[in-house]
Amino acid sequence: MLQIALIAHDRKKEEMVNFTIAYEHVLKPHKLYATGTTGARIMEHTSLNVHRFMSGPLGGDQQIGALVAQNEMDLIIFLRDPLMAQPHEPDIIALLRLCDVQGIPVATNIATAELLIKALERGDFAWRELVHKYKPGIDA
């Protein structure tokens, strides 16, 4: 079971809902996280159980970032709206930077999200299970 974050800017929320409907069978066995409204919309339209953090502008991106920093997130699908300025842009950039630091796969558009979900469906994320199995403790 992997830990997957689902985030979508306002104009991308419907796209995220449609994505989760289409791939509900792939996402179902995993632990899902989302920012506030995105998580609520996903749960309204699917049978997926989603742990909801705060809305992105209110700190939800940072809450997900904290899991990334601890290498406890395995995959992020973040449907960004590149044509709309976001008031919490520094938080978004920090989250993406943390994904790069920790080597966490992240999709920022539907095309890449499709590729990553297909890889998840094929079992190509087994390497993340090894990361969790051999993750050193704080005292290591």
Q: In what order do the strands lie in the sheet with 75-79?
A: 50-52, 31-34, 3-8, 75-79, 106-107
For the question of residue 10 being annotated catalytic, the response is no
Q: What pLDDT does residue 98 have?
A: 95
Judged against a pLDDT cut of 50, whether residue 33 lies above it is answered with yes
**Average pLDDT of 26-41?**
97
Please provide the CATH number assigned to the domain covering 3-133: 3.40.50.1380
Which pair of structure tokens corresponds to residue 92? 């978004």
pLDDT in tens, 104-134: 999 999 999 999 999 999 999 888 877 776 6
CB 21 within 8 A of CB 92: no
Q: What pLDDT does residue 138 have?
A: 45
Burial class (CB in 10 A: 0-12, 13-18, 19+), 12: buried
Judged against a pLDDT cut of 70, whether residue 49 lies above it is answered with yes
Judged against a pLDDT cut of 80, whether residue 140 lies above it is answered with no
| Active-site residue, selected from the candidate residues 10, 61, 91, 100 | 61
**Average pLDDT of 23-51?**
97
Which pair of structure tokens corresponds to residue 85? 């300025």
Q: What pLDDT does residue 127 have?
A: 80
What residue ranges do the domains of the chain occupy?
3-133
CA-CA-CA-CA torsion for 30, 17, 115, 74, nearest 10 degrees?
Answer: -30
